[in-house]
Amino acid sequence: MLTISAAEVDQALTFPGLVETLRTAFRDGAVQPVRHHHAVERPDGAASTLLLMPAWTDFNAAGSSAGGHIGVKIVTVSPDNNAIGKPAVMGLYLLLDGTTGEPEALIDGQRLTQWRTACASALAASYLARKDASRLLVIGAGALSSFLARAHSAMRPIKSVRIWNRTPANAEKVAAALRAEGLPANVAGDLEAELGEADIVSSATISTTPLIKGALLKPGTHVDLVGGFTPEMRESDDDAIVRARVYVDTRAGATKEAGDIVQPLASGVLKPEAIVADLHELTRGEKQGRQGDGEITLFKSVGAALEDLAAGIAVYKALK
Ligand SMILES: NC(=O)C1=CN([C@@H]2O[C@H](COP(=O)(O)OP(=O)(O)OC[C@H]3O[C@@H](n4cnc5c(N)ncnc54)[C@H](OP(=O)(O)O)[C@@H]3O)[C@@H](O)[C@H]2O)C=CC1
């Protein structure tokens, strides 16, 4: 069995390559039971969330039981980690042979998650962001932020990456690291002003109160909501939902787990039929993406086990 580190995941993947891998994965599908979602309560701090995310090759759809894989991701999200300088998300990915169950690889799940999450956002943006989108606003300066900047920059002609964060010093660190790679990244000071100028707003925070005020968005903006993963969490307000055509990664996940979707559905601000499409429908050409340059689009992801499976297989094949 291979043990694959974060650095090796970085060697194995490219942003355009993984976007195309995910496009194929969502089009073809996989078996992915609803993920286990457990709260690990403790008396002296915020509860951690333990997620168990299995997926495996759909042999019935593939028509043969050769060549498949089974994968399971174990992830924790511990909000208090930020205060001690650690990322909130930790994880491991185990890839098994699809027929025999033989272990194939144990992969750094944190890094695999960063790659596949950013590339799922970029995949959505390939249908939903304007082709000429050049100004990217990243909200949050955690582990995902630089991956989102790189992934969106791989799919659209980004000329300016603005990074806004609750703690500006952390935004400066991310911007400096991106500049060192040649990306045109700078810290954003005034979030409200930035929202009115961005072509793509990509948000990955642990916020429970909306940071994105929809009234401030300009026509043509694409909003990419990555952070919220419980019904209580929210990164955008109702105005954003009302003004946008709304898309999700998977209908089952987003309508159950994402406060940005669950709360407006509960209040009636968003009707279930107003969720235009998920990534399966977009990649299969069953539903349309952006319809015009003036439209505001909004994509909400909570993550799908088939993304981990597809990314894990891509890493394993590149390195074995
Ligand atoms: N959709 C998906 O598929 C996935 C979603 N996620 C989610 O994305 C989010 C970000 O992940 P990651 O980058 O790894 O996390 P990190 O812990 O590395 O970073 C968290 C970021 O959120 C900011 N933040 C925390 N609390 C607040 C708040 N109350 N208001 C505003 N900003 C806040 C932090 O700011 P500061 O620097 O000031 O502390 C920091 O920028 C998490 O919620 C995670 O669960 C993760 C993986 C996959």
pTM exceeds 0.90 for this model: yes
Predicted local distance difference test score (pLDDT) of residue 65: 76
Cα 223 to ligand 1 centre (Å): 16
- Confirm or reject: Cβ of 117 under 6 Å from ligand 1: yes
Predicted local distance difference test score (pLDDT) of residue 157: 98
Cα 234 to ligand 1 centre (Å): 12
CA nearest ligand 1 atom 6, residue: 227
Who contacts 267 (Cβ-Cβ below 8 Å, separation ≥6)? Answer: 238
Q: Could you list the pLDDT tens digit for every one of the 320 residues in the chain?
A: 999 999 999 999 999 999 999 999 999 999 999 889 899 999 999 999 999 999 999 998 877 777 899 999 999 999 899 899 998 889 999 999 999 999 999 999 999 999 999 999 999 999 999 999 999 999 999 999 999 999 999 999 999 999 999 999 999 999 999 999 999 999 999 999 999 999 999 999 999 999 999 999 999 999 999 999 899 999 999 999 999 999 999 999 999 999 999 999 999 999 999 999 999 999 999 999 999 999 999 999 999 999 999 999 999 999 99
Number of H helices, E strands in the chain: 12, 14
Q: How far apart are CA 132 and CA 146, in angstroms?
A: 21
Sheet holding 200-203, edge to edge: 185-187, 160-164, 135-139, 200-203, 222-225, 296-300, 244-248, 275-277
Q: How far apart are CA 220 and CA 244, in angstroms?
A: 10
CA nearest ligand 1 atom 3, residue: 303
Atom of ligand 1 nearest to the CA of 49: 45
Cα 33 to ligand 1 centre (Å): 25
CA 236 to chain centroid: 15
Scanning the chain, the segments in alpha helix (DSSP H) are: 6-12, 15-28, 59-62, 109-128, 145-155, 168-180, 191-195, 238-243, 251-257, 259-267, 279-283, 305-319
Predicted local distance difference test score (pLDDT) of residue 35: 87
Which two tokens mark 305?
Answer: 């086990």
Q: What is the DSSP letter of 284?
A: T
- Confirm or reject: Cβ of 265 under 6 Å from ligand 1: no
Predicted local distance difference test score (pLDDT) of residue 34: 86
Q: How far apart are CA 128 and CA 220, in angstroms?
A: 10
Predicted local distance difference test score (pLDDT) of residue 286: 98
Pick from 173, 205, 207, 224 the residue to mutate for probing ligand 1's pocket: most ligand atoms within 8 Å of its CB: 205
Atom of ligand 1 nearest to the CA of 89: 14
Predicted local distance difference test score (pLDDT) of residue 66: 79
Q: How far apart are CA 158 and CA 181, in angstroms?
A: 14
Cα 109 to ligand 1 centre (Å): 16
Q: Report ipTM (2 d.p.).
A: 0.99
- Confirm or reject: Cβ of 143 under 6 Å from ligand 1: yes
Cα 140 to ligand 1 centre (Å): 6
- Confirm or reject: Cβ of 144 under 6 Å from ligand 1: yes
Predicted local distance difference test score (pLDDT) of residue 183: 98
Atom of ligand 1 nearest to the CA of 166: 38
Predicted local distance difference test score (pLDDT) of residue 145: 98
CA nearest ligand 1 atom 27, residue: 207
Predicted local distance difference test score (pLDDT) of residue 202: 99
CA 43 to chain centroid: 31
Predicted local distance difference test score (pLDDT) of residue 292: 96
CA nearest ligand 1 atom 22, residue: 205
- Confirm or reject: Cβ of 303 under 6 Å from ligand 1: yes
